């Protein structure tokens, strides 16, 4: 084995090192801040400029430490996430073990309580062992106060705004030159003037880096020993202090570092023995103990990926991405992010962990992330009407900060691109609520009829101008058999596409967009704008589920929209209550209009509505709306009671696989959404049970701008057409129908006379085929059967429907009609069956020659 490399110790080097440190000592004497020990005062005068360029003081400041998120579980606030730039808990003096304080002073700076920040004895001793090139080899004679200065400057470097500045400041703080040592000395002296010894020692213990992402003695004690810093034994304390000079090679995260740690630990224990802080017996026993005997490594639980509450990881990520928006953290985005990085905050969030766990369980069951035929996503979000508080946020793909596998994602499907990197999803028919709201706001009613017959639509009104879609817009109904006129109430319950396009044609497309925007609706992609074209009425905009949940919560809240909020209360590192996110609410529509929308959307849950089965039936009223895209690749169900609004979404993250053609654990994916919502709402209702919604006034039901269909029954076709045009309506001519009206006259209309319809609605008129027109039955009693049939035929009756019954009579009355049903003189339709009773002689049978 070759001999160990020796450090140069020539006489010249020793002298130069001594002279260099003598200069420092002389300088300190010159400026009058050290004990009166004059060494090399002539050299000192040339170094005063270095001191003059430095501030007199450096502040300990607030050290970076952990931020903690809280949420509700079991009715109590519990910590569920720890977020930090540096894993640190700032301890108070009483929460740090005396053993730690003694180990730090005995092992690092025995004269700590005697010097004024700079220990000349240590400096001179270090100088004798150094060379002119620097101080690193001999340790530099740094006191605890000087080490604190270095750590403060490192902390300041880490808070610099750019990576380049961080690197430059960090290199400056760790430079081993005499200049850097001079800087440390002056700043250490300033610290001693500003703070007490105990404050300096506590700051040192809180700021020191202990390796493996553990900053400060509290985080280090928890990480390496799974206990608090106030409970450490002398040997545990000595092992921690042994780390600070070489945190990479002496930390206790791996057994390969134990030997190096143990060597330095034993030196510190010896110092503690010499200072009387442990006795000989303890010292002798401690030397025989390996760190393996007392290390209990506990991995830090930092970051959203470490959250163990089911489903809460994405909410944690959403909170972290919103830091720049939290006004309680500062007045500007930059200040808020800097304060969050410094840390020490407790954020009491709006999330309910129990309800989120149920939502996560349900969406995992209904939209399993193990689906291999296509990339299936699923989301559940719940928002509280009247506050905007986000109570539930869960998705089927498990959270990962990296790329993950097919069951994981770093995307938050609930949120906008800026807060989760998701571009949102086409909303399908859930967007129809905004057309319905504008319809009612314009004075139309729920009982007004619109034409749901598929056809080409043109023109539309867009921002006050008439537009002709190109190519022509010809929407289809999801159920092909639906057509004809129907009330808006029915069209809403059945989610009839063409009916809503007909409504939009009577409105302004930009007004529908404005209605959506008033409820906070916006595209998920950054910088995008809501489309206001004919197809947008049926839900072609890409919107985040959380956005849609908040919009529907605004409808449930009597038309008052509240922006989503995440934090109820924040506490800073000093215990000061900073408040939380303020409610941001505004009126989006009149209460009457909101009540009308709710009234119509309640119909989706009953009869043949599209959301039948979603209502949990727990007593409170619900309204709901389904949504399905053209390709059925995205399916939605949004529902609400008065207390909580919930959105469920399942769909293709990529691709266009139809969820009406694929089956999951609960049957066809598309048809399972109602039971998914039911399973979530049933549990939500245990904490957020709603009451009854307010019914709308009659104007919202019947409208004030509709046109009443005139009664054109019995009119000629021409007269009926003129009457409809005069009323501001259009018309179509249907097929003839059986009617008591004369043939060719109008028999029926659709919608019927007296019904309110939108201006310009096409009314279908159906002529009579005359088959049920009535006429007077001729009196044929006493006539021969032959003459009677001739008389009936002349009166317009169908003789093929005449039946004959023979009865006993005089032979002279054979073949004479005795009676008729209907009787002569009564009114009957031309196709009425007529029964004649005819004389059959004394035998009462057919004579055989009556006709």
Q: Which residues pair with 570 in a beta bridge?
A: 347, 579
Q: How many residues does the chain have?
A: 851
Query: Is residue 18 very low, low, confident or very high in pLDDT (cuts 50, 70, 90)?
Result: very low
At residue 345, the pLDDT reads 95
pLDDT at 576 over 50: yes
> Confidence class of residue 256 from pLDDT cuts 50, 70 and 90?
very high
Alpha-helical (H) ranges within 614-691 are 673-684
Task: Give the domain-ending residue among 186, 207, 228.
Answer: 207
Over residues 823-837, the mean pLDDT reads 89
Place of tokens 């409808």: 555
pLDDT classification of 153: cutoffs 50, 70, 90: confident
In a domain, 82, yes or no: no
CA-to-CA dists, residue 590 to 60, 558, 559, 560, angstroms: 56, 8, 6, 8
Q: Give the Cα separation of 814 and 367 in Å (integer).
A: 85
Helix-helix angle 11-30:120-128, to 10 degrees: 160
4 and 129 assigned to the same domain: yes
How many whole angstroms separate alpha carbon 423 and alpha carbon 79?
31
CB 438 within 8 A of CB 515: yes
Task: Tell me the C-alpha distance between 97 and 109, whole Å.
Answer: 18
Confidence label for 427 from pLDDT (cuts 50, 70 and 90): very high
779 in the same domain as 723: no
Confidence of residue 577 (pLDDT cuts 50, 70, 90): very high
pLDDT of residue 762: 83
* Cα 154 from Cα 174, distance rounded (Å): 8
**pLDDT value, residue 38:** 30
How far apart CA 19 and CA 39 sit, in angstroms, is 9
Same structural domain for residues 99 and 10?
Answer: yes
Whether residues 792 and 758 share a domain: the answer is no
Flag whether pLDDT at 4 surpasses 50: no
Domain-terminating residue out of 491, 508, 543: 543
Higher-confidence residue of 772 and 589: namely 589
Round to whole Å and give the CA distance between 834 and 641: 61
What whole-number percentage of the chain has pLDDT above 90?
Answer: 64
Domain total for the chain?
Answer: 4
Residue 446 has pLDDT above 80, yes or no: yes
Three-class SS state of 595: helix
759 and 806 belong to one structural domain? no
The kind and range of the H/E element at 731 are strand 730-733
pLDDT, one tens digit per residue, over 448-490 is: 999 999 999 999 999 999 999 999 999 999 887 888 899 999 9
The pLDDT tens digits of the residues spanning 714-751 come to 899 999 899 888 888 888 899 999 888 888 899 899 88
What are the pLDDT digits (tens) for 494-534?
A: 999 999 999 999 999 999 999 999 999 999 999 999 999 99
C-alpha–C-alpha distance, residues 577 and 571, integer Å: 5
Is residue 221 a part of any domain in this protein? no
CA gap 614, 298 in Å, rounded: 45
Residue 481: the pLDDT is 83
Does residue 54 register a pLDDT over 80? Answer: no
- Look up the domain containing 749 and give its range: 706-767
The average confidence (pLDDT) of the chain is: 87
Distance of CA 545 to the CA centre of its chain: 6
Task: Provide the pLDDT for residue 703.
Answer: 83
pLDDT of residue 42: 33
CATH number of the structural domain spanning residue 463: 3.40.710.10
| pLDDT, tens digit, 9 for 90 and up, residues 358-406 | 999 999 999 999 999 999 999 999 999 999 999 999 999 999 877 678 8
Q: Per-residue pLDDT for 680 more than 50?
A: yes
Residue 798 within a domain? yes
| Domain match, 189 and 113 both | yes
**Are 834 and 762 in a shared domain?**
no
Side-chain-side CA neighbours of residue 575 (13 Å): 1
Confidence bin at 171 (pLDDT 50/70/90): confident
Note the pLDDT of residue 13: 33
- Determine, yes or no, domain membership for 580: no
Q: Which of 184-198, 340-354, 790-804 has the highest mean pLDDT?
A: 340-354
User: Between residues 589 and 130, which one has the greater pLDDT?
Assistant: 589
CB-based contacts of 142, cutoff 8 Å, min separation 6 = 122, 150, 184
- Token match 């407790």: residue? 346
Q: Which one of 554-568, 706-720, 794-808 scores highest in mean pLDDT? A: 554-568
3-class DSSP state of 145:
helix
Alpha-helical segments (H) within 176-323: 178-194, 197-207, 216-225, 234-241, 258-274, 280-287, 313-321
pLDDT at 805: 93
Tens digits of per-residue pLDDT, 64-94? 778 999 999 999 999 999 887 666 777 889 9
The pLDDT value recorded for residue 181 is 77
Residues 710 and 826 in one domain: no
Q: Is the model's pLDDT at 134 over the cut of 60?
A: no
pLDDT value, residue 257: 95
Assess if residue 96 is contained within a domain: yes
Same-domain pairing of 721 and 830: no
In this predicted model, which residue has the larger pLDDT, 809 or 140? 809
Question: Residue 545 burial (CB < 10 Å; 0-12/13-18/19+)?
Answer: buried
What does the H/E/C string look like for 462-488? ECCEEECCCCCECCCCCCCCCCCEEEH
DSSP-H helix ranges across 427-556: 432-441, 488-494, 497-505, 509-518, 545-556
- What does the pLDDT average to over 294-304? 84
How many CA atoms are closer than 13 Å to the CA of 8, on its beta-carbon side?
A: 13
**Span 646-665, mean pLDDT?**
96
- Of 489, 508, 543, the one marking the end of a domain is 543
Q: How confident is the model at residue 155 (pLDDT cuts 50, 70, 90)?
A: confident
Do 751 and 787 belong to one domain?
no
Q: Are residues 106 and 199 in the same domain?
A: yes
303 sits in the region (left: phi over 0; alpha: psi -120 to 50; else beta) called left
Its sign, for the CA torsion 442, 447, 450, 453, is: positive
Same domain, 123 and 19: yes
DSSP track, 15-44: HHHHHHHHHHHHHHHHTT-S-S---SHHHH
pLDDT at 282: 96
Residue range 42-52: mean pLDDT, rounded: 44
- Is there a domain that residue 238 lies in? no
Return the CATH number at 827. Answer: 3.30.10.20
Residue 674 in any domain: the answer is no
Asked if 532 contacts 512 with a C-beta cutoff of 8 angstroms, the reply is yes
- List Cβ neighbours of 684 (8 Å cut-off, separation of 6 or more): 355, 358, 382, 391, 392, 644, 646
- 246 occurs within a structural domain: no
């Amino acid at each position: 084995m070759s001999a160990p490399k020796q450090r140069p110790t020539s006489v010249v080097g020793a002298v130069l090192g001594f002279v260099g440190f003598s200069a420092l000592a002389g300088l300190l004497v010159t400026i009058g801040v050290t004990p009166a020990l004059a060494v090399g005062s002539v050299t000192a005068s040339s170094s005063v400029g270095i001191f003059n360029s430095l501030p007199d003081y450096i502040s300990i400041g607030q050290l970076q430490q952990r931020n903690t998120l809280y949420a509700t579980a079991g009715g109590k606030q519990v910590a569920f996430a720890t977020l930090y730039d540096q894993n640190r808990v700032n301890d108070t003096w009483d929460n740090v073990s005396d053993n730690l304080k003694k180990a730090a002073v005995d092992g690092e700076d025995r004269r700590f309580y005697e010097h004024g920040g700079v220990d000349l004895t240590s400096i001179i001793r270090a100088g004798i062992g150094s060379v002119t090139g620097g101080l690193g080899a001999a340790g530099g004679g740094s006191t605890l106060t000087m080490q604190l200065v270095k750590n403060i400057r490192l902390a300041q470097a880490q808070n610099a705004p750019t990576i380049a500045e961080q690197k430059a400041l960090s290199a400056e703080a760790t430079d081993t030159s005499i200049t850097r040592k001079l800087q440390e000395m002056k700043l250490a002296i300033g610290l001693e003037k500003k703070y007490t010894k105990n404050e300096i020692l506590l700051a040192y213990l809180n700021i020191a880096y202990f390796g493996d992402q553990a900053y400060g003695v509290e985080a280090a004690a928890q990480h390496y020993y799974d206990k608090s810093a106030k409970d450490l034994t002398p040997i545990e304390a000595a092992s921690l202090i042994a780390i600070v000079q070489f945190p990479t090679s002496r930390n206790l995260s791996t057994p390969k570092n134990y030997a190096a740690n143990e060597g330095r630990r034993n030196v510190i224990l010896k110092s503690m023995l010499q200072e009387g802080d442990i006795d000989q017996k303890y010292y002798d026993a401690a030397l025989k103990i390996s760190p393996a005997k007392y290390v209990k490594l506990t991995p830090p639980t930092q970051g959203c990926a470490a959250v163990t509450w089911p489903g809460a990881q994405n909410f944690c990520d959403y909170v972290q991405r919103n830091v720049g928006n939290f006004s309680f953290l500062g007045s500007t985005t930059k200040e808020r992010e800097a304060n969050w990085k410094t840390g020490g905050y407790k954020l009491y969030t709006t999330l309910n962990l129990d309800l989120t766990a149920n939502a996560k369980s349900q969406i995992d069951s209904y939209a399993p992330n193990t689906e291999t035929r296509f990339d299936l996503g699923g989301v559940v979000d719940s928002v509280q009407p009247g506050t905007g508080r986000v109570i539930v946020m869960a998705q089927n793909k498990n959270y990962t900060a990296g790329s993950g596998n097919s069951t994981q994602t770093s995307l938050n499907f609930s949120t906008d691109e800026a807060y989760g990197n998701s571009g949102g999803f086409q909303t399908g028919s859930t967007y129809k609520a905004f057309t319905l709201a504008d319809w009612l706001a314009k004075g139309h009613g729920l009982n007004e009829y619109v034409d749901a017959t598929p056809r080409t639509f043109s023109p539309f009104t867009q921002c006050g101008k008439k537009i002709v879609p190109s190519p022509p817009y010809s929407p289809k109904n999801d159920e092909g058999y639906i057509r004809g006129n129907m009330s808006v109430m029915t069209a809403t319950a059945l989610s009839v596409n063409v009916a809503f396009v007909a409504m939009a044609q009577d409105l302004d497309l930009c007004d529908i967009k404005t209605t959506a925007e008033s409820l906070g609706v916006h595209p998920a992609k950054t910088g995008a704008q809501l489309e206001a074209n004919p197809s947008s009425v049926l839900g072609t905009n890409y919107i985040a589920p959380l956005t849609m949940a908040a919009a529907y919560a605004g409808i449930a809240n009597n038309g008052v929209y509240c922006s989503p909020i995440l934090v109820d209360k924040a506490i800073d590192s000093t215990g000061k209550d900073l408040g939380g996110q303020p409610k941001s609410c505004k009126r989006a529509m009149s209460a009457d209009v909101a009540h009308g929308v709710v009234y119509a959307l309640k119909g989706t849950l009953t009869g043949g509505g599209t959301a039948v089965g979603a209502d949990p039936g727990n007593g409170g009223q619900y309204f709901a709306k389904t949504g399905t895209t053209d390709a059925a690749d995205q399916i939605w169900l949004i529902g609400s009671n008065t207390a909580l609004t919930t959105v469920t979404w399942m769909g293709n993250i990529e691709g266009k696989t139809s969820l009406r053609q694929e089956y999951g654990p609960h049957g066809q994916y598309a048809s399972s959404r109602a039971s998914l919502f039911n399973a979530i709402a049933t549990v939500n209702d245990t904490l957020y049970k709603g009451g009854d919604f307010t019914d709308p006034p009659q104007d919202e039901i019947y409208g004030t701008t509709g046109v009443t269909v005139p009664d054109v029954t019995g009119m000629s076709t021409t007269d009926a057409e003129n009457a409809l045009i005069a009323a501001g309506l259009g018309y179509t001519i249907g097929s003839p129908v059986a009617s008591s009206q004369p043939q060719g006259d109008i028999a029926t209309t659709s919608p019927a006379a007296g019904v309110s319809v939108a201006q310009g609605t096409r009314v279908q008129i159906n002529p009579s085929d005359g088959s049920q027109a009535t006429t007077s039955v001729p009196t044929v009693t006493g006539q021969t059967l032959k003459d009677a049939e001739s008389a009936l035929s002349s009166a317009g009756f169908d003789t093929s429907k005449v039946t004959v019954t023979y009865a006993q009579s005089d032979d002279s009355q054979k073949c004479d009609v005795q009676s008729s049903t209907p009787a002569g003189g009564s009114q009957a339709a031309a196709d009425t069956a007529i029964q004649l009773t005819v004389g059959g002689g004394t035998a009462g049978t057919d004579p055989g020659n009556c006709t």
